[in-house]
């Protein structure tokens, strides 16, 4: 694709984001459901594209200019390639500029939420693989990799679903990416609605402390607009003697590029190791199928640790600026992925999609109501709602739900949830296991992976109840 074609396509994507932002401010239902502007923009692009408006115009014989939709085919061609590229920026920036506390502090503060979040994530695999074995394969003839869709769509979200498109295609499950995007969209809306229902139930039954809500916190609608990372720092005013010839954005883009390069080197090293050892004689191949984005995240973590140890000798990393780069990249990933979503695939697989969606949501609700009081020693629902929101859609959903029940941060919910990501994101929710789950299920078969994920779920539950829960302390 040419440079001009790429810039035009990016202009279309950002234009949809601006229009969606205006709609978000003026349409109350969007704010009530906390639907991000990027999701609104992506769905709008899909609706006025060739699959909806174009198909409708063709069937009604409206003729040009509506016959092919209002989004040019050349733009959609570029959009189809954007998610797999920019998702590397999102994950490489995940830990850049964050303070990496000692492991013992992470475990002490975030241990209960790590155990609860891991239980939810591994449980999504268990539920999904059981459905694949019992229903999706024998009844609908689906690829056994469908067992990974709940975790990829719900826990991973739109970005992860879009990023794994090539992995799904490689294992003869090309429709998997579209189904995961459909699940991510369902989980986003259903997670907010069910989270609001759980909050109202908790207030009525006294399980959620009403006094915590009656604080000076920001109203939920404004919170949805302004919420950032839990530890986002203010912009540094800079050293007056610092080189002003280089814009800070250029430096931070360079750091993100270094993180991605470190991830690429790690990827190539793992592929070479695998080829020289267990995969040499047509053995199990996993590392060759791992996409770059989870390794870019590890590269970013390693880079941040190195910069921290350098101290003043290393370049300053402004977390707020990193968030802006990462946020813009994620917006483009979501808009372009949803804008090129195949509605035909969703229509052909509507029954399996609904089965997976309902089962995934049910598991997340049950895990919150049953496991949170047994794993989290204090304010279990306030703290558990963060993990619930993340397990049904995206991190910001969990943060918004926490802000609604603890606007002044008087529990450890926000701090614990933030630290939790250091022991959570590298593995599930878009981490290494998420990346290898499809090749693992296809190459080993669903039963061994079911055994692995069930064991990890039980271990997470046991550790949480034994070492962190009210009865185990």
Check whether 219 has a pLDDT greater than 80.
no
pLDDT, tens digit, 9 for 90 and up, residues 130-181 = 999 999 999 999 999 999 999 999 998 888 888 898 999 999 999 999 999 9
Determine the pLDDT at residue 179.
94
The answer for residues whose C-beta is within 8 angstroms of residue 50's C-beta and 6 or more apart is 68, 69, 71, 73, 76
Question: Which has the minimum average pLDDT: 40-54, 230-244, 397-411?
Answer: 230-244
Determine the pLDDT at residue 423.
84
Mean pLDDT of 193-212: 85
Helix then strand then coil, % of the chain, to nearest 5: 75, 0, 25
Determine the pLDDT at residue 232.
37
* 95 confidence band (pLDDT: 50, 70, 90): confident
Determine the pLDDT at residue 233.
35
Domain boundaries, the chain: 3-79, 90-230+247-322+346-468
pLDDT, tens digit, 9 for 90 and up, residues 351-367 = 999 999 999 999 999 99
Determine the pLDDT at residue 60.
79
Residue 247 tokens, joined: 């814009």
Better-predicted residue by pLDDT, 112 or 234: 112
Check whether 346 has a pLDDT greater than 90.
no
Residue 437 tokens, joined: 């789950």
Determine the pLDDT at residue 1.
59
Q: Identify whether the C-beta of residue 333 lies closer than 8 Å to the C-beta of residue 36.
A: no
Q: What is the mean pLDDT of the chain?
A: 85
Determine the pLDDT at residue 473.
54
Determine the pLDDT at residue 242.
54
Place of tokens 């941060």: 409
Check whether 69 has a pLDDT greater than 90.
no
Residue 452 tokens, joined: 């692995």
* 100 confidence band (pLDDT: 50, 70, 90): confident
3-class DSSP state for residue 385? helix
What percent of the chain has pLDDT above 70? 89
Determine the pLDDT at residue 378.
87
Dist CA 206 CA 200 (whole Å): 10
What percent of the chain has pLDDT above 90? 42
The answer for residues whose C-beta is within 8 angstroms of residue 242's C-beta and 6 or more apart is none
Dist CA 56 CA 77 (whole Å): 21
User: What DSSP element (H or E) covers 287?
Assistant: none
Determine the pLDDT at residue 68.
77
pTM over 0.75: yes
Place of tokens 């020693």: 377
Check whether 220 has a pLDDT greater than 60.
no
Check whether 222 has a pLDDT greater than 50.
no
Determine the pLDDT at residue 216.
46
Q: For residue 174, how many other CB atoms are within 10 A of its CB?
A: 15
Determine the pLDDT at residue 243.
54
Check whether 192 has a pLDDT greater than 90.
no
Mean pLDDT is highest, among 7-11, 243-247, 307-311, for: 7-11
Helices and strands: H and E segment counts in the chain:
25, 0
Q: Identify whether the C-beta of residue 397 lies closer than 8 Å to the C-beta of residue 389.
A: yes
Better-predicted residue by pLDDT, 403 or 107: 107
pLDDT, tens digit, 9 for 90 and up, residues 236-292 = 444 544 555 678 889 999 999 999 999 999 999 999 998 888 777 776 777 887 888
Determine the pLDDT at residue 236.
44
Check whether 221 has a pLDDT greater than 60.
no
Check whether 401 has a pLDDT greater than 50.
yes
Check whether 415 has a pLDDT greater than 90.
no
pLDDT, tens digit, 9 for 90 and up, residues 433-472 = 999 999 999 999 999 999 999 999 999 999 999 999 886 5
For residue 142, CA distances in Å to 176, 177, 228, 409 come to 10, 14, 39, 45
Q: For residue 169, how many other CB atoms are within 10 A of its CB?
A: 13
Dist CA 290 CA 267 (whole Å): 8
Dist CA 337 CA 324 (whole Å): 20
Residue 23 tokens, joined: 């709609």
Check whether 218 has a pLDDT greater than 60.
no
Q: Give the residue from 91, 117, 128, 33 showing the smallest Cα distance to 390.
A: 117
∠ CA(396), CA(33), CA(85), 5° rounding? 45
Name the maximum alpha-carbon separation found in the chain.
70
Dist CA 339 CA 83 (whole Å): 11
Question: Which has the minimum average pLDDT: 60-69, 88-97, 289-298?
Answer: 60-69
Check whether 213 has a pLDDT greater than 90.
no
């Amino acid at each position: 694709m040419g440079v001009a074609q790429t810039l035009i396509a990016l202009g279309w994507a950002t234009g949809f984001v601006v229009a969606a932002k205006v709609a978000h401010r003026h349409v109350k239902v969007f704010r009530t459901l906390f639907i991000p502007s990027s999701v609104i923009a992506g769905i709008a692009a899909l609706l006025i594209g060739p699959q909806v408006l174009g198909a409708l115009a063709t069937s009604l014989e409206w003729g040009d200019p509506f016959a092919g939709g209002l989004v040019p085919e050349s733009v959609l061609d570029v959009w189809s390639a954007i998610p797999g590229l920019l998702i590397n920026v999102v994950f490489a920036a995940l830990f850049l500029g964050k303070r990496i506390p000692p492991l013992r502090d992470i475990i002490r503060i975030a241990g209960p939420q790590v155990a609860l979040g891991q239980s939810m994530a591994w449980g999504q695999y268990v539920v999904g693989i059981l459905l694949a074995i019992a229903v999706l394969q024998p009844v609908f003839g689906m690829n056994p990799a469908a067992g990974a869709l709940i975790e990829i769509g719900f826990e991973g979200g739109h970005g992860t679903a879009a990023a794994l498109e090539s992995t799904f295609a490689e294992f003869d499950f090309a429709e998997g990416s579209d189904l995961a995007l459909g699940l991510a969209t369902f989980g986003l809306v259903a997670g907010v609605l069910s989270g609001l229902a759980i909050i109202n139930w908790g207030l009525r039954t006294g399980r959620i402390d009403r006094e915590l809500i009656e604080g000076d916190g920001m109203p939920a609608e404004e919170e949805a607009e302004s919420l950032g990372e839990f530890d986002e720092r203010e912009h540094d005013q800079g050293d007056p003697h610092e080189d002003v010839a280089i814009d800070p954005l250029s430096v931070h883009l360079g750091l993100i590029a270094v993180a991605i390069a470190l991830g690429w080197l790690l990827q190539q090293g793992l592929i070479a190791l695998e080829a020289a050892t267990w995969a040499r004689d047509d053995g199990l191949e996993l590392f060759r199928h791992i996409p770059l984005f989870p390794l870019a995240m590890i590269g970013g973590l390693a880079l941040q640790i190195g910069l921290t140890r350098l101290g003043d000798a290393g370049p300053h990393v402004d977390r707020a600026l990193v968030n802006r780069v990462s946020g813009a990249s994620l917006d483009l990933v979501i808009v372009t992925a949803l804008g090129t979503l195949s509605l035909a695939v969703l229509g052909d697989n509507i029954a399996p999609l609904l089965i997976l969606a309902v089962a995934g949501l049910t598991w997340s609700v049950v895990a919150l109501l049953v496991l949170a009081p047994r794993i989290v020693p204090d304010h279990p629902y306030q703290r558990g709602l963060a993990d619930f929101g993340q397990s049904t859609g995206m991190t910001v959903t969990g943060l918004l739900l926490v802000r609604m029940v603890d606007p002044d941060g008087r529990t450890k919910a926000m701090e614990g949830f933030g630290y939790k990501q250091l022991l959570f994101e590298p593995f599930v929710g878009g981490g290494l296991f998420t990346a290898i789950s499809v090749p693992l299920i296809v190459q080993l078969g669903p039963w061994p992976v079911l055994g692995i994920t069930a064991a990890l779920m039980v271990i997470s539950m046991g550790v949480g109840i034994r070492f962190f829960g009210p009865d185990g302390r």
